């Protein structure tokens, strides 16, 4: 357990070294969009979507500074490194979601828009689930291959998800309407699906990443 905690601390220091200027710019853009379209929860969607790229830059810093050797020197197994990085990413996502929610509440307050608990919960849960899905898709690949070899394809998960989602909604509108109706009638399920779905995605991805990272050539 101590080794996992030490791995988390090391990843945390790497995460802190990232230039937060771009994150601040994205936050301002999200805030601006929330004001313009008068839809505060959209701030959550923008910030959580872009955060999928943000957390992945840890791999870029590790590769650029050849920090894999440092991880090799420390008494931390590859499995513990993977678990630690996923845990840090999970809690980082929670912090970003909380920050985005605060920004959304500010817009609600300033514009005096009527607050919808269900709609807000759906945005929070859905955005966090989407963030975890992006992490779940990207991280195993970054543990297996160099970040620089995959960065050109970093947008593909977004593209596939958007195209696939648009196709399914257009192809099966009745099914989509039934799903919406189900969640409206059982609003607590928004949180259940969001939380359990996120944890399930990251758990499966973690074990895949462990298997790939153990077989990666040093």
- Reported as a single tens digit per residue, the pLDDT across 17-70 is 776 677 788 888 888 988 888 888 888 888 988 888 788 888 888 888 777 666
pLDDT of residue 129: 92
For residue 176, CA distances in Å to 163, 168, 169 come to 15, 8, 6
What is the Cα–Cα distance from 159 to 132, expressed in whole angstroms?
16
Structural domain for 199, as ranges:
2-214
Q: For residue range 92-129, list pLDDT tens digits in order.
A: 999 999 999 999 998 888 888 888 888 888 889 989 99
Crossing angle of helices 188-214 and 78-111, rounded to 10°: 150
Detail the DSSP E strand segments found in 80-124: none
Rounded to the nearest integer, the mean pLDDT of the chain is 83
pLDDT score of 13: 83
- Alpha carbon 29 to its chain centroid, in Å, reads 18
pLDDT tens for 58-94 read: 888 888 877 766 666 667 788 888 999 999 999 999 9
* Distant-in-sequence, close-in-space partners of 177: CB < 8 Å, separation ≥ 6: none
Is 70 exceeded by the pLDDT of residue 167? yes
The domain tally of the chain equals 1
| Eight-state DSSP code of residue 216 | S
Regarding pTM above 0.95, the answer is: no
Cβ(93)–Cβ(201) below 8 Å: no
């Amino acid at each position: 357990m101590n080794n996992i905690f030490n791995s988390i601390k090391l990843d945390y220091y790497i995460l802190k070294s990232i230039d937060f200027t771009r994150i601040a710019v994205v936050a301002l853009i999200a805030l601006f969009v929330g004001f313009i379209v008068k839809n505060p929860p959209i701030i959550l969607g923008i910030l959580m979507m872009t955060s999928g790229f943000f957390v992945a830059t840890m791999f870029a810093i590790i590769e650029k500074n050849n920090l894999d050797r440092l991880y090799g020197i420390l008494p931390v197994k590859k499995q513990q490194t993977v678990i630690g990085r996923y845990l840090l990413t999970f809690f980082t996502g929670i912090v970003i979601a909380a920050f985005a929610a605060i920004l959304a509440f500010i817009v609600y307050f300033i514009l005096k828009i009527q607050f919808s608990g269900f709609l807000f919960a759906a945005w929070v849960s859905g955005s966090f689930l989407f963030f975890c899905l992006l992490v779940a898709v990207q991280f195993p690949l970054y543990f297996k291959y160099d970040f620089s070899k995959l960065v050109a394809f970093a947008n593909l998960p977004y593209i596939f998800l958007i195209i696939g989602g648009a196709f399914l909604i257009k192809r099966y509108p009745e099914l989509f309407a039934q799903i919406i109706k189900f969640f409206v009638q059982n609003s607590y399920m928004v949180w259940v699906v969001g939380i359990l779905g996120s944890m399930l995605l990251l758990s499966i991805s973690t074990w895949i990443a462990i298997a790939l990272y153990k077989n990666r050539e040093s």
